[in-house]
Chains A and B, each alone.
Chain A
Amino acid sequence: MKKKIVGLAMVGLVGFAAVQFTSCSGCQQAKTEQPSMDAKKDSMDQARVEQLKKIFFNIPSPVEMASLIKDQGYTYDKKMLNAVENVDKYMGEVQQAVNLGIYGADLSYASIFDQKQESMTYFAAAKKLASAMAIDGGINDSTITKLAEYQDNRDSVLKIVTGAYADLNGYLKENNRIEVSALVISGGWLEALHLCLQYAEKPNSDLIRQRIGEQKMVLESLLKYYESFDNKPALAEMKADLLEIQKELNKVEITAGKTTVSKAKDGVMTIGNGSKATVKDDTLKALNVLVKKIRSKYVA
């Protein structure tokens, strides 16, 4: 065992030198390349598998919820968002991370509705939080400059915003701050749900209600992801809040058939199981009250 570890250390030393070498300035090409180190598989496998579970996770983007709101013909409402003036109030990593996610969802909403100035303001608030949390990825001055440059092109703005948040999550995951990334994602999900709930009370909101009901599936994935962290204290409060929301969402009835795969006229593969989520009025009302209560605790 000792020999194996020493052997591993040698591999590690060579690999570390290689990484340092490829990270040097003026080696741009090398930096974009993969470290071609070899390593012998050993008992660390299980730990790596557990680590992969923490990295590989996906829920739909808040942008998708925001675009549904716009597609249904509803108008932008600034009052629904977390005011950017609150940004200086947030202390402590948990509150900062959750609000970084909340501002991300608000930013997506503003961008979808082509609110140029609002998008810039929300991005600046997100940048302020990211800096306070010493996160050096995605959301920085150069992205703000790029955003200003492309502010007249909504698709470019969306690309910059989603790319910045993906890079931020990548930075967190690669710097052993995966719990912070989970909180950012949770904050974004909570805010997107909050926004949809506000529109669900308006007329002709069947599709919005359906999307809210479908969050039962999304939350299931999110909570499954939380399980991979065991009982990390930083995630305890949010996990308890998500479990509260799950109690309400479990009242949503989702019916589905067998999955079918077919080819559409344009040649695109189409997948579906005919699922339908039914949300009763009282469930929707209770969910709205609960989400408002939980959200206000974080944004206050």
Chain B
Amino acid sequence: MKKLIASIFLFALVTVGANAQCRAFTKNRVLPNLTGFVQNENYNAALFMEGDEAELLMTFYGGKDYRLVVMAHPVLPEVEFEVLDTNDELLYTNKTASNKNVFDFRMSSTQQLKVRVRVPDSKGTMVRQGCVTVVAGHKS
């Protein structure tokens, strides 16, 4: 029982410690890609394992230009992300994009969009873990 508690405690410590480094990753590696845009105050960065997927429901205002930056630390395979409407209609995928991390777009009307982020599974026996960050910015 003691071992079990110690294990959980250690795992929590590692997760908190490693998560804290996602802030540094976001600041140093991700935010420079948002130059020229005003950053949204929400913070979306966490440790992902290969095969993990997350979805964000975001509201974008009509008449504005936005930039979405989605980045995974190089320890992970290249992150895949898609933008869909609320009917799950695919609007954008980074699979065919020349810049895999940045998506610039304009909204002609206000709309909720889903941003789906996935770290591909390399099918190895050990699963790698690393920071994934999603930031949005608008042109002022």
Contact = CB atoms under 8 A, between A and B. Distances in A.
Contact of A55 (B17, B45, B75, B128): B45
A58 B136 contact: yes
B57 A224 contact: yes
B46 A51 contact: yes
Interface in A243-275: 256, 259, 261, 264, 268-275
Nearest to A173: B43
B20 to A, nearest CB: 5
Interface residues of B, number: 80
A19 B14 contact: yes
B108 A272 contact: yes
Given A9-B7, A15-B14, A58 B40 contact: yes
A221 B43 contact: no
Contacts of B56: 56-58
B49 A39 contact: yes
A175 B103 CA distance: 30
Interface string B72-88: 01110000000101010
Interface stretch (A76-84, A154-162, A195-203, A287-295): A154-162
Contacts of B4: 2, 5
A36 B75 contact: yes
Interface residues of A, number: 84
B110 A275 contact: yes
A277 B42 contact: no
B33 interface: no
A24 B18 CA distance: 14
B35 to A, nearest CB: 9
Given A32-B28, A58-B136, A162-B38, A38 B128 contact: yes
Given A162-B40, A276-B109, 13 more contacts: A12-B14, A16-B13, A19-B18, A32-B24, A38-B127, A41-B51, A44-B11, A61-B41, A64-B138, A104-B41, A158-B140, A214-B61, A269-B92
In the A-B complex, list the 3 residue pairs whose CB atoms are closest, starting with the nearest. Answer: A272-B108, A19-B17, A34-B73
Interface of B: 3-4, 6-8, 10-11, 13-14, 16-29, 31, 38-46, 48-49, 51-52, 54-62, 64-65, 73-75, 83, 85, 87, 89, 91-92, 103-113, 117, 126-131, 134-136, 138, 140
14 contacts: A55-B45, A63-B38, A63-B138, A162-B38, A167-B43, A169-B41, A170-B26, A174-B22, A217-B110, A221-B57, A256-B111, A270-B105, A273-B111, A275-B110
